[in-house]
Amino acid sequence: MKFFEDIRVGETAEIGRHTFTAEDIKAFAARFDPQPFHVDEAAAARSHFGRLCASGWHTACVWMRLLIVHRRHEDDERRARGEPVAQLGPSPGFRDLQWLKPVYVGDTVAYGTEVIEARPLNSRPGWGMISMHNTGVNQHGEPVISFVSSVFVERRGEGQEP
């Protein structure tokens, strides 16, 4: 992770894509969100969705995994260049999550993120908070998920020059 001071509002990143299989959708939903339209093709066909679709939580959790993998890759590159890597702190949460279209079996969702706010935390010296607008778009170019998340990021300490 970059240090807080090095993060700019407006920065964007494409963090990866994921294709949702029927097995994947049903396995996630069976554990966490066992609604008939997420676990059973026949029940899904009778529902307002028309066919099997992923739990919205599944669509969001895949974003989390892709972001972590993306950041790990970036951190590996920083270490290879001999640069320090900032720590991530807690996330206070997220807001305005919209599941804009169902994610159906076989859909491929491309995820992206944009920094929309960055502010130092007076209450926590050494940390700043960034907010990100996160999106997922399917293979037809249709947005399927959108939300705003926040996370604490380490500030550059003494002796850590850019």
Partner 1 sequence: MPRLHWEDFAPGQVTDCGSRLITRAEIVAFAAEYDPQPMHLDEHAASATPFGGLLASGWHSCCILMRMLTDNLLVDTSFMGAPGVEEVKWLAPLRPGERVTLRATVLETRASRSRSDLGFVRFRFELFDASDKLLMILSVSPMFARRSADAPAPAEQPSRS
Give the residues lining the site for partner 1 (CB under 8 A). 31-35, 37, 47-49, 55-57, 60-62, 64-65, 68-69, 87-99, 147, 152
Least distance between partner 1 and beta carbon 154 (Å): 9
Q: If phi over 0 gives left and psi between -120 and 50 gives alpha, with beta otherwise, what is residue 10?
A: left
Least distance between partner 1 and beta carbon 84 (Å): 16
Cα torsion for 36, 56, 25, 110, to the nearest 10°? 150
CA–CA separation, 56 and 115 (whole Å): 23
120: which strand partners? 128
The dihedral through the CA atoms of 35, 38, 40, 41 has a sign that is: positive
Indicate the residue among 22 and 30 with the shorter CB distance to partner 1: 30
Indicate the residue among 8 and 18 with the shorter CB distance to partner 1: 18
Indicate the residue among 9 and 69 with the shorter CB distance to partner 1: 69
Q: Which residues of 46-64 are buried (b: 16+ CB within 10 A; e: fewer)?
A: ebebeebbbbbebbbebbe
CA–CA separation, 114 and 8 (whole Å): 10
Least distance between partner 1 and beta carbon 107 (Å): 16
3-state DSSP assignment of residue 11: coil
Indicate the residue among 10 and 123 with the shorter CB distance to partner 1: 123
Least distance between partner 1 and beta carbon 121 (Å): 12
Indicate the residue among 8 and 103 with the shorter CB distance to partner 1: 103
Least distance between partner 1 and beta carbon 13 (Å): 17
